[in-house]
Amino acid sequence: MPQHITLKDPHRESRIYSARTVAAIAIVLALLAVILTRYYALQITEYETYRTQSDRNRVQLQPLPPKRGLIYDRNGVLLADNTPSFILSIVRERVSDLDATLTALQGLLPISAGDLENFQKKLQRRRPYEAVPLRFRLTEDERARLAVNRYRLPGVVVDAQLLRHYPHGALFSHALGYVGRINEREAFELDESDYRGTFHVGKVGVEKYYEDILHGEVGYQNVESNAHGRVLRVLERHAPVPGADLTLHLDIRIQRAAVEALGDRRGAVVAIDPLTGGVLALVSTPGFDTNLFVNGISSKDYSALRDSLDVPLFNRAIQGQYPPGSTVKPMMGMAGLESGLVTTESTVPDPGWYRLPGDSRRYRDWILRIRGTGHAPRVDLNMAIAESCDVYFYDLARRLTIDRMHEYMSPYGFGERTGVDTTSERSGVLPSTRWKREAMGQVWYPGETISAGIGQGYVLATPMQLAMATSVLASKGQRKTPRLVSSIDGEPVAAPLLEPLVAKDEHWLAVYEGMREVVHGKRGTAKYLSKGIEYDMAGKTGTAQVIGIAQNAVYNEDEVAERHRHHGLFIAFAPMEAPTIAVAIIVENGGGSSAAAPIARAVIDTWLLGEAG
């Protein structure tokens, strides 16, 4: 059979080739157009956008945290310092696998669960390319291990920063307070721009009250870095403004004398200079090491402090509200003299108990269980203060009434915060008929006035309030808001003046003489303090009941649990002719004023003589 032979069709092949060539050229031109369009966009229309993004990868704005202001005592002794410390941080954008990096770091140095938890929280609220701290206070060995492994840890940064340090630990724990890591609530409340690069903030005490002054102003620097985030050079730098230094009225000698005199007992000591209003000592025992809180206290350490029966975190000096007991009697005496209800010659019969008209109940004097009778057949103001005669002040309280007592006692600072420059101060209670009606919805009873007249019942005061009241006495009515800070960067800070308490000079002197007899008189309740004393001290003892005692029951301290025993109180100022120090002391469950009075002697001896007696 014949075979069909297919002949080449050059025209057809030429058309196909031409079509393919045109298509290829069209595709190439289209691709070239896309490239040129994209190139135009990159180089012309979107140049600034991509240039900025490129610079962000190459140039970073880093915050420069300011140096926190230092804190000194009145003699220039450093109380709050800043010490160099190395911090391990991570820049999230520089880390490809965060979990793997954290695992690698845990293999190189100890990282606690708390460290990881804090890191994750800070990671959620950071800014782009901001280093997030993971570990503080790296040791030299830990820094060496990180340096050796640096090549396999992109995004891991070790920086040197200044961290707060308290060289005297627990000695000033309640006076200074402390700084701590910024928590989630604080991060929301604080101005983010002011705290960039800063990990700590004042938590309590002077550190918190003066936070704005101590903190300073954040600086910044532009740095050029490589692809791994390592800084190559600094392009621009604006130095931070350091925080202001504070000088306090506190005297480390008096602070130490008070702590040593209190020993292992629970209590508080506050000393004030009546001339300036400066707080010379503010002690609450037991204290705690404030350094534990700077970088986050461990759960074990915090639990030990939180669960302790002695509540070391509780600042008794400004938060403890105690019945002031007989320490209010000098102020009550002034109220009686100024109101005209008594004179220095007025006397009251003292059988050892007092009875309200028409009431069968007997309000006992403390001396009754000792002598079986009163202080004397008749008692005047001098003896009433010197020997702490309850009967005299029962009668005075009844005649004054609770509302007039409130009126006369308020100017001494009772019933309201003193305004001292620290945090968490409480106001105490100075009762009145209105106070009880509003607080409890009840009427006031005459028997409650009797208790209030000797600083019991509803009356509550902080040691700071007692010290202020003693200062008002010592200065003959000059009222100044207590101040811890004496100067800021060398500029003096004056204590705010309050309206003075105006009274007759002879009335002040009459009360002074009664308080002098407390220490220097033959029958004074603190006469044992006068042995070897080199100055005249005006004082007043006080005892505050912790548990109620039935009318006919006898209080036997040896049969009462230690935490149910009476509190011991003492107030004093010296030297009497020109007072320069006023003190208030409370010893919880000390059994009576004999536990507190020697502490006052130790504090005042240190202030006036340079050593404890």
Active site residue ranges: 326
Residues in the chain: 613
Of 435, 406, 431, 387, nearest in space to 339 by CA: 406
- On whether the CB atoms of residues 163 and 295 are closer than 8 A, the answer is yes
186, 200 in Cβ contact below 8 A?
Answer: no
Helix axes 597-609, 252-262, angle to 10 degrees: 160
How many CA atoms within 13 Å lie on the side-chain side of 300?
1
Residue that has been written with the tokens 């900025």 in this structure: 52
How far is residue 60's CA from residue 232's CA, in Å, rounded to a whole number? 11
Cβ partners under 8 Å of residue 550, min gap 6: none
Which of 268, 312, 275 is CA-nearest to residue 290?
A: 312
User: 329-339 and 505-520 are packed helices; what angle lies between their axes, rounded to 10 degrees?
Assistant: 150
CB 233, CB 221: distance < 8 Å? no
| Whether 271 contacts 474, CB under 8 Å | no
Asked whether 342 and 394 are in contact (CB, 8 A), the reply is no
Phi/psi-derived region of residue 589, left when phi > 0, alpha when psi is between -120 and 50, beta in every other case: left
Q: Do 567 and 593 contact (CB within 8 A), yes or no? A: no
Distance CA 233, CA 225 (A): 7
Half-sphere exposure for 371 (CA within 13 Å, toward CB): 14
Cis peptide before 133 (omega within 30 of 0): no
Contacts of 245 (CB under 8 A, 6+ apart): 69, 70, 71, 72, 488, 489, 490
Q: How far apart are CA 589 and CA 603, in angstroms?
A: 21
CA dihedral 339, 340, 342, 344 (to 10 degrees): 110
Neighbouring CB atoms inside 10 A of 230's CB total 12
Q: Looking at 318-442, which runs of residues are DSSP E strands?
A: 348-349, 353-354, 363-364, 378-379
The one-letter amino acid at 558: D
d(CA 131, CA 87): 10
**How far is residue 124's CA from residue 36's CA, in Å, rounded to a whole number?**
41
Q: What is the dihedral of CA 498, 504, 510, 513, to 10 degrees?
A: 50
Per DSSP, 429 falls in state B
Residues contacting residue 606 through CB under 8 Å, at least 6 positions apart: 253, 254, 257, 612
What is the four-CA torsion angle of 330, 331, 334, 336, rounded to 10 degrees?
A: -100
Distance of CA 185 to the CA centre of its chain: 18
